[in-house]
Amino acid sequence: MVASPASRVHVALPTKPALPDGLEVHHNSLYYHGIDLMALIEKPISVQGHYEMPATPMYVRWLPALRQNYRALTQWFEAAKAITGYTGEFQIAFASKANPAQPVVQTLLCEGTAYECSSNFDVEIVRQAGAAGWLDQNRTILANGFKTPAYTQNLLRLRAEGYSHLLPIFDDPDESKAFADSGLRFEVGVRSRTNSAAINRFGMDYDDLEIAARKIAASGNLRLTTFHAMQTLSAARGLQYHAAMAASLRTYARLWHVAPSLRRFDLGGGLPAINSGMDFQDWLLQTQQMIMGICAEEGVPVPDLMVESGRFLVQTHACTLFKFMKSKLADDDIPFYMIDGSIMTNFPDAWALGDAFTVLPVNHWDSEFGLARLAGLTCDPDDVYPTRKMGDAMIEMPLDTEGLIIGFFDCGAYQETLGGKHGAKHCLMPEGPEIVMDENEDGPFVCHYERPQTADDVLGDLGYEPH
């Protein structure tokens, strides 16, 4: 027999949640990289000469995290290089698909990353960045992705405009034809299909790689310099990842004997977030040692290295804050804490892939804590956290829920583009405001505030006339 709601007791836990790096509790409130999150919720923000109270759900970007992640990866490579004696150079390309928002792209390009685009519209970001002075025309621009006619023509126009280090990466031998026929000079790359997945639609096997290399050599205006290892495994997979990488290196060495102009090995993507627990220093050390060993065995020069980083650079730069609305007890006596937004639309990787986020209360750290689940306001049973793909490992939340604020952290990679920016969401749940923060010698400050969606915004995107 199920007990009546009045007879159920929400049992307190003896401990409170652990805090990852970058999060601290002061005066019973959570601080994120030194930012008082309750102050963001409670204090008015100056917007174009007047003050406005921020609303929730609130999306907060912390731009210094982007710079810190880039610098950390660079420093880890150099530290490994000092041990191994690796002779090649290292370049980090920002994979824009992870988060192509303007503040993110501007921050990383100004920090010095190369840029990896993957579609036609991505080329327009390059143009805007060039016009704004975030990158010059000598910056490396990787053009990945399948080369549709519109994308190809836009890349050709970009090269004609003077972007001399535009580097198309070909996914099959036929993609090189339009670039060869243009007469424009390009350094180019080829994407290799690794054996890291049973089913893989990306890249070329060795026979096609050799065909592509010979077509490129015959063109007269294309020069093959880059080998792209299309990894479909996370680098966190350790031995399995390195086994796939070793196979790619053997293929690179074999192709080098056909095209000795090859000088760059692109590791591809697959880096997890900086706070994933992976030992990046050791990963780079092992990677350098493996490349040096295989190149020596195969009799080819050690290549320069490139990594296409999306998640690693951007995942930890953002959080989303929600207000607690009400509690609803489930049949197992664990309550659902209802929040004033949607988990489904804000964190599609959670319900689609089972990816976990850091979820913590912002206030009431002096309260006792108990187990809870979270639920969004949509009418969908998947609008819960932990999601159905994550099992039923509940989270720890304060028993005192009066004015409770709940934060989802490390949500800066992919969630915006997968869930959609602006537009209409499930159950017409509106987007809240966005706050972009940076720091100077005086500490953190708000450098941009974007208002929440209105009913006219949402209905206008659906074709309704404003009234």
Domain-wise residue ranges, the chain: 13-63+318-461, 86-309
The pLDDT value recorded for residue 175 is: 96
Q: Which two tokens stand for residue 375?
A: 């639920």
Residue 183 is predicted with a pLDDT of 96
Q: pLDDT for 93-121, tens place per residue?
A: 999 999 999 999 999 999 999 999 999 99
| Residue ranges, the chain, pLDDT below 50 | 1-7
User: Tokens 């790359």 correspond to what residue?
Assistant: 189
Complete DSSP assignment for 269-325: S----TTSS--HHHHHHHHHHHHHHHHHHHT-PPPEEEEEESHHHHGGGEEEEEEEE
* pTM value surpassing 0.75: yes
**Measuring CA to CA, which residue among 1, 69, 56, 7 is closest to residue 410?**
69
- Is the CB of residue 398 less than 8 Å from the CB of residue 365? yes
pLDDT at 355: 87
User: For residue 434, how far is the Cα from the chain centroid?
Assistant: 18
Q: How far is it, in rounded angstroms, from Cα 378 to Cα 343? A: 9
Q: Of the candidates 169, 342, 183, 122, which has an alpha carbon nearest to the alpha carbon of residue 268? A: 169
Instruction: Write down how long the chain is.
Output: 467
pLDDT of residue 233: 62
- Do domains 13-63+318-461 and 86-309 share one topology? The answer is no
Say whether the peptide bond before residue 444 is cis (omega within 30 degrees of 0). no
CATH of 13-63+318-461, one of 1.20.120.530, 2.60.40.10, 3.30.300.90, 2.40.37.10: 2.40.37.10
Fold of 86-309: TIM Barrel (3.20.20)
Q: Can you list the pairs that 211-216 forms with residues at least 24 positions away whose Cβ atoms lie under 8 Å?
A: 211/173, 212/170, 212/172, 212/173, 212/176, 213/255, 213/258, 213/259, 214/258, 215/173, 215/176, 215/177, 215/180, 216/176, 216/180, 216/188, 216/190, 216/259
